[in-house]
Structure 1
Amino acid sequence: MQYHALSLSKHGYNVTFVGFLDSKPHGDVLRQERIQIVPITEVKGFQVGPKLFTYVSKVLLQCLQLLRVLLQMDTQSHILMQNPPGLPGIAVAWLVCVLRGSSFIIDWHNYGFTIMALSLGHKHPVVRLAKWYEHFFGPLSDQNLCVTEAMKEDLRQNWGVRATTLYDRPASVFRETPVKQQHQLFMRLKETHPQFRDNSSDVETEKEERTVFSVRDITDDTVTLRADRPALLISSTSWTEDEDFSILLKALEDYEGFIKGGAALPSLVCVITGKGPQKQHYLKLIDSLHLDHVQICTPWLEAEDYPVLLGSADLGVCLHMSSSGLDLPMKVVDMFGCCLPVCAIGFNCLNELVKHEENGLIFKDSQELAEQLKCLLSEFPGSGGKLGLYRLNLRSSRGQRWDDNWDQHVLPLLSAK
């Protein structure tokens, strides 16, 4: 949604950006004079009585809060919202559009009821209500965007909604990171994360500035990547039910076993970024592991640092399993923008993004992921082998970036009111 806001502002629209301010928006959003940020607070509902009462009260309070915010703003020509979360946003936004004559656009990234079903089950009354809600209010929109051809067809057949497929594309900030910029990031990260520190005994602090991955010669300011560096593995997550990180942790244990069994493989530093409801659960699992050749850290990065880290990594892992089987993980889009090959857990329409044995690999379980890590890193840090081939393929097949893709598919909808 930050990309949408920036694209709208570049085309002369004044944008009011409404949302939870849980994390700092990207600097480009903050600097854009045409974008006004209106934060809304998380509503907890009444913490008495049964859980259903708490949930219903939360939704009603959110309705009132969002309705007040939208009606206090100047009249908008368009209201663009992302679904999920759609409860209660879809109904409230539709009502405001009716009252004010605005055009209502939904950007369908998934279905909210399928995400709820991960924890409650498809037969739960709340899930059934959420499904009815989305099916009733979703088709009331004036225009629709979606993220896959599979979702476009599902919306048409089962929802009566005609949508334009807007594949997520990486912004221009997602690119391979120059070595000097990599070193600068590693130096900042090593201040808080020991996994980035060089603990060898021959550190020449007067002449060299070192991390576990890089060395800067202070005399001439040249930076090189170390030949003995570990491989940098990255996985980003929102720590929710549709990402089972025990798969990755078990694969890392198996990878450790390969090394202890005599396999000529590099050590690993695995960086898992993000925050969410299950993070503490997985942090406990990580703390229980006893690994000598694999180190794991879970930093929370500023928006400007995240693409730099992706562009510095050697391999990405995606555990997004898709509650509906119809959406695609934006994290992989960003990784591909950095020409970073990916191992991704498979689901129905993933092949619209990840081409197996072309720009990455698709796996079904932890054992298969461990074997893929072993295969791809067998020639590290050399540029040969499958890992090098996939990176070359990504470099040669770079498609549209976000701006061109948005101009082609979204801009015409704004003039179709």
Structure 2
Amino acid sequence: MSKVKHLDLILQLSLITFMEVYLYFNELYSLMFVTILFLYMASGFRIARSGSQACIIVLGDIGRSPRMQYHALSFAKLKFDVDIVGYGGSIPHPDIVNNTRIKRHILREPPKLPQFLPKIFQYVIKVLFQVCQLFFVLFFNIKWPSHIMVQNPPSIPTLFVAWFVRLIYGSKYIIDWHNYGYTILGLSLGSWNPLVRFAKWFEKFFGKKADGHFCVTNAMKEDLQKNWSIKACTLYDRPPEIFKETPLTQKHELFLKLSEDYFGFGDGSTRGIKTAFTEDTRSSGVVEKSDRPALVISSTSWTEDEDFSILLGALELYEKAKIAGGKSSHLPNLVCAITGKGPQKKFYQQEIAKMNFKHVNICTPWLAAEEYPLLLGSADIGVCLHTSSSGLDLPMKVVDMFGCGLPVCAIDFNCLDELVKHNENGLIFKTEAELAEQLQILLRGFPEKQNKLKTFRENLKSFQAYRWQESWTDKVKPTLYI
């Protein structure tokens, strides 16, 4: 049987070669080109029908795109070979780096043009540069993908490129809607800017051409259906197994390491034995100090959709309350770690440097991928200031915090209640005064009294039980070959 199949393939190739030679000698070059293109596309379509080669397009820093990394790992667990196309900058999670089925294709940053050139011209050049890079990688550097998954935003030019590649290869084209690209662009240009209006049309037009859609909230699912007639499946962000409560010995080791660069984590006396939070007693092992400060953590990309002046204002009010009440306030000192990097980080670092705190210590560390879950799992309270440009996405940082069993104070916006349940697994605030009051309510009597925090942690156990891989297997896997 195998010999018959082999002979059949030889006959097909012979006929194709004869046809192409005939067209060439009859100077039917255009028809020759069309048939070659058709054969190339047919080969791709044959692979796409049953293949297991996934291409994930991020067009952002791969290391700072956790959801797309989780998609890649989930595809790899199904024995897909995975190509991730995006920018470098941050080191991805070790599971991505060490997985032999996952290959990263790092794009070059667009060239920096002279600032005197019109912004629209700079934007067009940037997009053209990205289009050329993407086409080169997708047509020459990777195998024919059976599935193409695109992170949106950014929408321009990724949605167009993915759609065009899908036409050639016959791949299943999937969009993972994290937000709307045009609403993010509108934050800086205004919603009625012609470029924003074009971006909205572009996102809708090419978004509707995808074969499958996933989104991060039910609110976004309903909005896509109502306004753009796009049927999407809600795939909530869920934490992978790495996000969990950190064991005490690992907390101590992490605090020792951080104390080398950040004063708030240190004890100020015995190095290598004590931190501000823990102590290695040698005889009884590592223990938590009875007079330790509370560790508050917030993570950010330092962008315009997060106003960190709210957190700084709340910390000032907290400090005033502690000073005014003295010991009778029963409020602990605070160490506030704000992790991440982004365009507004230097501005806020300068603002923090101007503050004269006595009972609050603020630091802005950039953590390795494996250290971030450890710090979340060591904290007492998480703070989220993400507000969403569309009001339709949820902050993944809260998902990670909940995975570690960490209660959260989160600023209110449209669909936040799909994740944060007020007075059940966290608290929702609108102003810096409300946040300051919530910190005092949660931390009064800390560390002896943690009644509300313990209640929230207990209520988060059901959330922790349902992880990313289970959710992906339930929602994404059944759709891959439909």
Q: Tell whether 2:86 aligns with 1:37.
A: no
Distance in 2 between residues matched to 1:149 and 1:46, nearest whole Å: 41
Distance in 2 between residues matched to 1:226 and 1:220, nearest whole Å: 15
Distance in 1 between residues matched to 2:167 and 2:437, nearest whole Å: 55
Distance in 1 between residues matched to 2:462 and 2:218, nearest whole Å: 24
* Contact in 2 for aligned 1:110/1:326 (Cα 8 Å): yes
Give how far 1:194 is off.
1.4
* Contact in 1 for aligned 2:190/2:196 (Cα 8 Å): yes
Q: Tell whether 2:163 aligns with 1:86.
A: no
- SS of residue in 2 equivalent to 1:67: helix
- Write out the 4+ residue segments of structure 1 that deviate beyond 2 Å after TM superposition: 44-48, 382-385, 395-399
* Contact in 2 for aligned 1:21/1:39 (Cα 8 Å): yes
Letter in 2 for 1:46: L
Name the residue aligned to 1:14: 81
Name the residue aligned to 2:177: 108
Letter in 2 for 1:256: E
- SS of residue in 2 equivalent to 1:210: coil
Distance in 2 between residues matched to 1:137 and 1:287, nearest whole Å: 46
Letter in 2 for 1:339: G
Per the normalisation by structure 2, the TM-score is 0.83
Give how far 1:95 is off.
0.5
* Contact in 2 for aligned 1:46/1:58 (Cα 8 Å): no
Further displaced range: 389-398 or 69-78? 389-398
Name the residue aligned to 1:350: 416
Q: Where do 5+ consecutive residues of structure 1 fail to align?
A: none
Name the residue aligned to 2:29: none
* Identical positions, percent: 56
* Contact in 2 for aligned 1:9/1:15 (Cα 8 Å): yes
Name the residue aligned to 1:145: 214
Distance in 2 between residues matched to 1:289 and 1:134, nearest whole Å: 43
Letter in 2 for 1:408: D
Distance in 1 between residues matched to 2:189 and 2:119, nearest whole Å: 13
Name the residue aligned to 1:192: 261
Name the residue aligned to 2:278: 214
Distance in 2 between residues matched to 1:112 and 1:397, nearest whole Å: 29
Structure having the higher helix fraction is: 2
Name the residue aligned to 1:321: 387
Give how far 1:386 is off.
1.6
Distance in 2 between residues matched to 1:245 and 1:168, nearest whole Å: 24
Distance in 2 between residues matched to 1:198 and 1:306, nearest whole Å: 22
Name the residue aligned to 2:128: 60
Name the residue aligned to 1:95: 164
* Contact in 1 for aligned 2:402/2:463 (Cα 8 Å): no
Give how far 1:46 is off.
3.4
CA RMSD in angstroms, aligned pairs only: 1.3
Name the residue aligned to 2:332: 266
Distance in 1 between residues matched to 2:99 and 2:166, nearest whole Å: 26
* Contact in 2 for aligned 1:113/1:127 (Cα 8 Å): yes
Counterpart selection for 2:317 from 254, 259, 272: 254
Letter in 2 for 1:17: I
Letter in 1 for 2:356: H
Further displaced range: 315-324 or 377-386? 377-386
Name the residue aligned to 1:2: 69
Say if 1:379 and 1:401 are closer, same or farther in 2 by CA, change over 3 A.
same
Give how far 1:406 is off.
0.4
After superposition, residues 390-401 of structure 1 pair within 5 angstroms as 390-401=456-467
- C-alpha distance after superposition, 1:60-94 (max 9, x if no partner): 11111111111112100001111011211111111
Further displaced range: 5-14 or 57-66? 57-66
After superposition, residues 371-410 of structure 1 pair within 5 angstroms as 371-410=437-476
- SS of residue in 1 equivalent to 2:464: coil
* Contact in 2 for aligned 1:43/1:62 (Cα 8 Å): yes
Distance in 2 between residues matched to 1:265 and 1:379, nearest whole Å: 6
Give how far 1:397 is off.
4.8
Distance in 1 between residues matched to 2:467 and 2:449, nearest whole Å: 26
Q: Tell whether 2:338 aligns with 1:338.
A: no
Q: What is the count of residue pairs matched by the alignment?
A: 410
